[in-house]
Amino acid sequence: MHSQADSRPGLHAAIIMDGNGRWATRRGLPRAAGHRRGVEAIRRTAEACPDLGIGTLTLYAFSSDNWQRPADEVGGLMRLLRAYLRNETARLARTGTRLSVIGRRDRLPEGIPEAIERAEAATEAGDRLHLRIAVDYSARDAIIAAAQRLQGADTSRDAFGRAVAGEMHGSPVNVDLLIRTGGEKRLSDFLLWEAAYAELHFTERMWPDFGETDLAAAVTEFARRDRRFGALAPAKVSAAA
């Protein structure tokens, strides 16, 4: 079973939102147009979660490696983030969505950390969905930071897992279902600790086209999987006895 108990109800789904650039390029549009359409896909996907039994959704919006992209693309993504926080907060609060941003904040452009804090405070009471957006996020860095923070104090799996997941955000430690859009099949330094027993779902769909039907298909496939967390299925346990 889970080595760390998660108290939050519902599944924890996480998505690597890939394919914005290719979606745009195939249409003769600038990559920024793909990222803009990606924001609409975030809204559609988040709003579909509660009815599909998803209580927490973690989205990979900007990895720590994404700083290496051209400055105008990075600037465009940061502008989108700023606009998202400004324009979506009221809607998030109305739909019972609590927003948290995970990842480093000290390298974000001026004003964004404060905008994040305002959006988190304004949506704090949301109890239908916990939407976590990963910005300047690296799973390896999160694991190193947890190790440094604990300094050997309590490095049991439970305590360490909570430190990695960032217990200050009341975040569940385990990811149940990890989805990657855009056809690639890799984890790209996303939630490496939390996804230890996640079911993986890869889809060719480009992120700007992703929506409720795709999410429902992933959840249906997830429900068919036989999750054993390294143990044997009950029938096999009695057969082995």
Alpha-carbon gap, residue 201 to 177, rounded angstroms:
7
| Residue 180 binds ligand FPP (CB under 6 A) | no
The number of beta carbons lying within 10 Å of the beta carbon of residue 126 is 17
CA 166 to mean position of chain CA atoms: 13
* Nearest residue to 79 (alpha-carbon basis) of 102, 63, 61, 57: 61
Cβ atoms of residues 157 and 4 within 8 Å: yes
Instruction: Please state, in angstroms and rounded to a whole number, the distance separating the CA atoms of residues 97 and 128.
Output: 6
User: Which of 12, 35, 130, 132: binder of ligand FPP (CB under 6 A)?
Assistant: 35
Per CB under 6 A, contacts with ligand FPP among 135-164 are none
Strands, DSSP E only, in 75-212?
Answer: 97-102, 129-137, 177-180, 199-202
Neighbours of 141 (CB within 10 A): 14
**Which of 61, 139 has the CB closer to ligand FPP?**
61
Axis crossing angle, helix 71-94 with helix 31-48, rounded to the nearest 10: 20
Q: Which of these ranges, 48-56, 77-85, 123-131, 155-163, lies near ligand FPP under the rule CB under 6 A?
A: 77-85
Helix (H, G, I), strand (E, B) or coil at 202: strand
- When binding is defined by CB under 6 A, the residue of 11, 32, 38, 222 that contacts ligand FPP is 38
19 is in an annotated binding site: yes
Identified binder of ligand FPP from the candidate list 81, 163, 164, 215, rule CB under 6 A: 81
**Of positions 10, 19, 55, 161, contacts ligand FPP by CB under 6 A:** 19
Closer of 3 and 188 to ligand FPP (Cβ): 188
Name the amino acid, one letter, at 25.
Answer: T
Site for ligand FPP contains 178 (CB under 6 A):
no
Q: Which is nearer to ligand FPP, 2 or 22 (CB)?
A: 22
> Judged by CB under 6 A, which of 4, 20, 138, 203 binds ligand FPP?
20
Catalytic residue among 66, 141, 189, 209: 66
Q: Tokens at residue 88, please?
A: 């979506």
Write out the binding residues: 18-23, 31, 35, 63-65, 67, 69, 180, 186-188, 199
Q: Which are the catalytic amino acids?
A: 18, 66
Which residues contact ligand FPP (rule: CB under 6 A)?
Answer: 17-22, 35, 38-39, 42, 61, 66, 77, 80-81, 84, 133, 182, 207
